[in-house]
Structure 1
Amino acid sequence: MSAMPFEDFETAYETLATAIDTAGTERETLFLTRLALVLGHELGDITAFRKAIKTALEGLEYDVHS
């Protein structure tokens, strides 16, 4: 699997931001969960899916004990 070209990455970011705004604050989490599952299904590779989740968590400030 290859990385998305930078130009497409920028477009993906803008598309995602617009979709999150469209979903609204109350449904943002539901939308992002559904999106992740749809993309995971399209990817068809649980190892890559888990790696993507780990990468997305990197750098986030969170307390694993809460």
Structure 2
Amino acid sequence: MSQYAVSGRFQSRDGFSEFNTVVEAPNENVARERVYTNIGSQHGLKRNRIEIGEVAEEVSAA
């Protein structure tokens, strides 16, 4: 599986908070779904409160 760097922001009580995370997924769409799941469960948010800005596949130096 590939690793994807995902960045974006989510709506919190104090406005918007930004996030950067790395997830392991077989493709970009699954990476997006995992971010929605992880951020939503950690912060008690629904998907419409989470904005994903960029999804980029990380290249490993092997």
TM-score, normalised by the number of residues in structure 1: 0.38
Q: Which has the higher helix share?
A: 1
The higher relative CO (CA closer than 8 Å, separation ≥ 6) is in 2
TM-score, normalised by the number of residues in structure 2: 0.40
